[in-house]
């Protein structure tokens, strides 16, 4: 769940004003209307349309723009178990924002990532599975050297009873990270792929969504609404099948 500003257990600064208005997590119709009106939507607009906003913050939570959250160069996206992700070089855009409670004890983050083709995004999902399978039982440090080495411990997948959404590939992980001082943090990371976009959802602790996000009492509901937001995007803009290697093998797509 990469990026310098989004290490496991990072606490958001409790600063800034909350936006008064209708919470987008009440539904996804407004997102679909906005995206549907674009002709065609730009990559920036696609990234913004699926991301968390100030209107998604619960009454006692604060929305935060991450430093470098719209940058690709020099920024990490996929870093489950701090594994190797060659697909990082294939990213064409990203947007990362977060919401944390004022006590700094709970936070959620959405990171929308775009690639040139659906096959490249699918490669990223494959690399996530490989990183989980190869995760050692000893401390590993971030690839960019920004942060301490931690021991990753994976728990039961949190989405066993979540409904599958046709056309959206999903991987969900629950895990602990333990530092050299013995401090342990529990988090979840859920990755949703549609076309050439991966939408990553990070929650610390696992019940943090109910604290930070309005109208999302648990991780399942949070993921459901964000999945709806992803499904509302313009399909053609997420395909861009205009050359070799852009088609996704249906047999390699998870239900």
Is residue 247 included in any domain, yes or no?
no
Is residue 22 included in any domain, yes or no?
no
* Residue 51 to residue 48: CA distance in whole angstroms: 5
Is residue 248 included in any domain, yes or no?
no
- Please state whether the predicted TM-score (pTM) of the whole model is above 0.75: yes
What are the tens digits of pLDDT across the range 168-226? 999 999 999 999 999 999 999 999 999 999 999 999 999 999 999 998 888 899 999 99
> How many domains in the chain?
1
Is residue 40 included in any domain, yes or no?
yes
Is residue 113 included in any domain, yes or no?
yes
Q: CATH number, domain at 211?
A: 3.40.1000
Range of the domain at 184: 4-14+27-242
Is residue 251 included in any domain, yes or no?
no
Mean pLDDT of the chain: 82
Is residue 249 included in any domain, yes or no?
no
Is residue 179 included in any domain, yes or no?
yes
What are the tens digits of pLDDT across the range 68-109? 999 999 899 999 999 999 999 999 999 999 999 988 889 999
What are the tens digits of pLDDT across the range 228-242? 999 999 999 998 743
């Amino acid at each position: 769940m990469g990026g310098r500003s989004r290490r496991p257990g990072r606490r958001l600064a409790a600063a800034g004003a909350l936006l008064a208005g209708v919470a987008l997590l009440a539904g996804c119709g407004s997102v679909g209307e906005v995206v549907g009106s674009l002709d065609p939507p730009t990559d920036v607009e696609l990234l913004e349309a699926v991301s968390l906003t100030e209107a998604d913050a619960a009454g006692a939570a604060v929305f935060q723009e991450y430093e470098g959250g719209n940058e690709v160069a020099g920024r990490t996206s996929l870093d489950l178990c701090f594994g190797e992700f060659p697909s990082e070089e294939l990213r064409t855009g990203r947007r990362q924002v977060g919401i944390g409670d004022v006590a700094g004890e709970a936070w959620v983050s959405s990171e929308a990532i775009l690639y040139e083709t659906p096959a490249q995004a699918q490669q990223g999902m494959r690399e996530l599975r490989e990183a989980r399978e190869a995760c050692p039982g000893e401390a590993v440090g971030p690839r960019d050297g920004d942060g301490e080495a931690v021991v990753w411990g994976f728990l039961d997948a949190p989405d066993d009873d979540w409904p599958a959404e046709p056309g959206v590939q999903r991987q969900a992980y629950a895990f602990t990270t333990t530092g050299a001082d013995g401090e342990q943090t529990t988090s979840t990371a859920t990755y949703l792929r549609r076309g050439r976009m991966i939408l990553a959802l990070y929650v610390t602790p696992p019940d943090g969504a109910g604290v930070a996000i309005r109208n999302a009492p648990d991780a399942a509901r949070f993921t459901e609404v964000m999945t709806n937001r992803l499904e509302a995007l313009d399909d053609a803009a997420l395909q861009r099948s205009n050359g070799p290697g852009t088609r996704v093998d249906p047999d390699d797509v998870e239900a």
